[in-house]
Amino acid sequence: MGPPDIDVLANSPFDSDNSEANGSSIAILAEFDDRLILLAGDAYPDVILESIQRLVGPGENDRLQLDAFKVPHHGSKANINRQILAKVDCARYLFSTNGTRFKHPDKETVARVIKFGGRGPELVFNYRTDFNLVWEDRRLMESHGYSVSYPEAVDAGQTIEL
């Protein structure tokens, strides 16, 4: 099959999440010791975008400075779009899923983060799975300027320093 086409995936049509369960999700912007992380839960993309705009403003150059962004809904393609990524300045994107139930993260989401998530984003996965190993391709990483991080052991989880 070959490596994924990041440009095609990143620019694929966006169809927003509208599931009732995810509409009740809680997202948290946590700050400690001058570090800021957005934990987006399963929140709807329009709610995330509106919340960010309330914090930093609606202008094209108004961006939320983050040390890490835990992407919404385990990397579902229906929960993160180009507009959200344009409103954050972040180098580290966290994906929390083992992929067993819904096969997350979706390739479209990862491609959007790579293409629109800023310069040299680091993709941090809490599991090494068949659904995220494709992003460890050295040629893809070099040509698109991103890096990946996986836990050392199968079920070890991931610890990051902010």
The domain containing residue 48 runs over which residues? 6-10+21-149
pLDDT at 10 over 90: yes
Q: Count how many residues are written for the chain.
A: 162
* Residue 77 lies inside a defined structural domain of this protein: yes
Of the pLDDT bands very low, low, confident and very high (cuts 50, 70, 90), residue 159 is: confident
Provide the b/e sequence for 120-159 (b: ≥16 CB within 10 Å).
Answer: ebbbbbbbbbebbeebeeeebbeebebebebeeeeeeebe
* Residue 59 lies inside a defined structural domain of this protein: yes
CATH at 57: 3.60.15.10
Q: 3-state secondary structure string, 106-140?
A: CHHHHHHHHHHCCCCCEEEECCCCCCCHHHHCHHH
Of the pLDDT bands very low, low, confident and very high (cuts 50, 70, 90), residue 2 is: confident
* Residue 125 lies inside a defined structural domain of this protein: yes
Q: For the whole model, what pTM was predicted?
A: 0.94
Residue-wise pLDDT tens digits, 91-123: 999 999 877 887 789 999 999 999 999 999 999
| Domains: count for the chain | 1
- DSSP helix/strand/coil, 46: helix
CA dihedral 88, 83, 94, 66 (to 10 degrees): 10
Q: What distance in Å separates the CA atoms of residue 123 and residue 120, rounded to the nearest whole number?
A: 10
Of the pLDDT bands very low, low, confident and very high (cuts 50, 70, 90), residue 152 is: confident
Q: What distance in Å separates the CA atoms of residue 39 and residue 46, rounded to the nearest whole number?
A: 15
Of the pLDDT bands very low, low, confident and very high (cuts 50, 70, 90), residue 19 is: confident
Give Cα 9 to chain centroid, integer Å. Answer: 14
* Residue 155 lies inside a defined structural domain of this protein: no
* Residue 58 lies inside a defined structural domain of this protein: yes
